[in-house]
């Protein structure tokens, strides 16, 4: 994500991760670390829209899927 110069591509990466979470939230086990690393990189982006998207989606994950993120 950090290697891409295109804001469109970086935004697409965040959108793909969000879609993956929505469709496979129950199957993500050890992958949460990678998901949050991508959101962390997005939060440090130069484009405000990508930063906002990252924070909104992290908030949504915490509010809706906290039990799956922290595990048993």
The total number of structural domains that make up the chain: 1
Query: What SS3 state is found at 51?
Result: helix
For residue 30, being part of any structural domain is answered with yes
What pLDDT, on a 0 to 100 scale, did the predictor assign at position 68? 87
For residue 40, being part of any structural domain is answered with yes
For residue 57, being part of any structural domain is answered with yes
For residue 1, being part of any structural domain is answered with no
pLDDT block averages, 10 residues each, the chain of length 72: 84 97 92 95 96 97 91 66
What pLDDT, on a 0 to 100 scale, did the predictor assign at position 70? 87
Domain that holds residue 30: 7-70
Enumerate residues 6+ apart whose C-beta is below 8 A from 13.
1, 4, 38, 42
For residue 12, being part of any structural domain is answered with yes
What gap in Å lies between CA 72 and CA 47, rounded to an integer?
Answer: 36
What pLDDT, on a 0 to 100 scale, did the predictor assign at position 31? 92
For residue 2, being part of any structural domain is answered with no
């Amino acid at each position: 994500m950090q290697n891409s110069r295109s804001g469109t591509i970086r935004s697409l990466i965040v959108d793909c991760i969000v879609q993956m979470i929505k469709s496979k939230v129950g199957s993500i086990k050890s992958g949460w670390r990678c998901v949050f690393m991508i959101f962390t990189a997005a939060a440090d982006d130069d484009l405000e829209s990508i930063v906002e998207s990252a924070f909104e989606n992290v908030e949504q994950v915490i509010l809706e899927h906290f039990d799956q993120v922290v595990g048993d």
